[in-house]
Amino acid sequence: MKPPPFAYLAAGSLDEAISALAAGDGEARLLAGGQSLMPMLNFRLLQPGLLISLNRIPGLGGITENGGGLRIGALTRHAELERSPLVARHFPVLGAAMEHVAHLAIRNRGTIGGSLCHADPAAELPMLMCLLDAGITAQGPAGERTLAAAEFFLGALTTALAEDEIVTAIELPALAEGCGWGFEEMARRSGDFALAGAAAIISLTGDRVSEARLAVMGAHPTPLRVAAAEALLRDQTIDEDTVRAAAEAAAAAVEPDNDLHASADYRRHLIGVLTARVLRAALRRAQGETP
């Protein structure tokens, strides 16, 4: 389990990385935290001609306030998201979810950009980006563009990114004041990829839901915003019946596969269970309580 030979470039600037990627003609791979790429190299599942390291490019990391939201550099590590006071203040769901991502040493190294580009359907960050309506900014030879998270994930391990583009930053627009959140996942062991997961944001105006967002993961080729469930909640007063109806809508929306760790039916069942839980938690937080 030793990696195959490859050439290596520690890019000093984004431009250098972009040109090298273009020159690599499909044989080059980008290396950020490496926490998904390195195991694949060690198993020799990939044989890139060139590895372009992004880790020495100045300014590619860091979390800054941007309007009421945040701009997160692509090279920001999971551990930084977990510890960041800015993330805790603006997007507590993001910080809280990080403890479910693998383990300490992986979070110390793994980056948000890497996780989004790897696009594992059971990974937390892609789902959270969908939940938070993130804009994913990428640069390529043709310039910069920003993709909505909902359009970014095309399938398992597949994104809308062009072969010559590099994700540089994530823009998270501000959430409504006083909104509540919920996050739940079910994994076999602590830190394993989730069998299924869900996250929700709820804003209330009085008793009524002014905004409801629900995203699920692990039971579909991509992370999924469940529009049907959100529609059931919007403008409603949430009670246990609405929660159940939304959970059923979420379970109906996913197209899970059977695999080694869980059957499709069980994953679908979990989506329902976890959806109900995150909705209850988000509602309680929106009501100013601690779930």
Partner 1 sequence: MEIEVRPGLIGARVQRLEDPRLLTGHGTYVDDLQLPGTLHLAFRRSDHGHARIIAIDTEEAAAMPGVAAVVTAADIADGVKPYRATSRMPDYHPTTLPVLAADKVRYVGEPVVAVLAENRYLAEDAAEQVAIDYDPLPTVIDPEAAAQPGAPVLHEEIGSNVILSRSFSRGDVEAALAGAPVRVAGRFRMHRKTPAAMENRAYLADYDQGRRALTLYSSTQVPGIVRDSLAEILDIPGNRLRVIAPDVGGGFGGKTPLYGEEVLVCHLARKLGRPVKWCADRLEDLTTTSQAFDEIVEAELACDGDGTILGLRAEVIGDIGAYSIYPYTAALEPVQVISFLPGPYRVPSYHGAVKGVATSKALTGAYRGVGRPISTFAMERLVDMAARELSLDPLEMRRRNMVRAEEFPYKTPVGLVWDRAGFMECLDGAAAAADYDGLRAEQARARADGRWFGIGLASYAELTGLGSRISAAPGMPVNTGTETASIRIDATGAVTAAFGIASHGQGLETTLAQVVAEELGVRVEDVEVVHGDSDAVAHSTGTYASRSTILAGGAATLSARALRQQVVEAAAHLLEAAQADIEVADGAIRVAGTDRAMSFPELAKAVFVEMGRLPRELREQVDLQVTKTYDPYFGTTAPATHLAVVEIDPETYRVAIRRYVVAEDCGRIINPMIADGQVHGGVAQGIGAALYEEVVYDDEGQILTASLVDYLVPTAAEIPEMEVLHLEIETEANIGGFRGLGEGGTIGAPAALANAVTDALAPLGIDIDELPVTPDRLFRLIREANKDEN
Partner 2 sequence: MSGGHVVRLRVNGVDHEAEVEPRLLLVDFLRVQLGLTGTHVGCEHGVCGACTVILNGDSVRSCLCLAVEADGGAVETVEGLGRVDDLDPLQEAFREHHALQCGFCTPGMLMTGIDLLRKQPLASDGEIRAGLSGNLCRCTGYQHIVRAIRASVEARDGD
**Which candidate, 72, 55, 74, 51, places its Cα nearest to that of 139?**
74
Q: How far is the CB of 2 from partner 2 (least distance, A)?
A: 7
- What phi and psi, each to the nearest 5 degrees, are found at residue 132? -90, 10
What is the torsion angle, in degrees rounded to the nearest 10, for the CA atoms of residue 218, residue 32, residue 102 and residue 259?
30
Sign of the Cα pseudo-torsion (3, 61, 110, 67, in order)? negative
Q: Which residues 173-202 are close enough to bind partner 2 by CB under 8 A?
A: 189-191
**Exactly one of 29, 90, 109, 277 binds partner 2 (CB under 8 A); which one?**
109
* Residues binding partner 1 (CB under 8 A): 1-5, 43-44, 186, 188-193, 195, 260-263, 265-266, 269-270, 273-274
Q: Is 42 in the site for partner 2 (CB under 8 A)?
A: yes
Q: How far is the CB of 10 from partner 2 (least distance, A)?
A: 7
**Exactly one of 103, 188, 208, 234 binds partner 2 (CB under 8 A); which one?**
103
Structure token pair of residue 165: 């583009």
Q: How far is the CB of 132 from partner 2 (least distance, A)?
A: 25
Return d(Cα 225, Cα 223) in angstroms, integer: 7
Q: Is 99 in the site for partner 2 (CB under 8 A)?
A: yes
In three-state secondary structure terms, 204 is strand
**Exactly one of 51, 147, 170, 172 binds partner 2 (CB under 8 A); which one?**
51
Q: Angle between the 264-286 and 240-253 helix axes, to the nearest 10 degrees?
A: 140
Stretch that binds partner 2, among 50-58, 68-76, 222-230, 280-288 (CB under 8 A): 50-58
Q: How far is the CB of 206 from partner 1 (least distance, A)?
A: 30
DSSP string, 220-267: SSS-EE-HHHHHHHTTSBP-HHHHHHHHHHHHHH------SS--HHHH
Q: How far is the CB of 99 from partner 1 (least distance, A)?
A: 11
Q: Is 41 in the site for partner 2 (CB under 8 A)?
A: yes
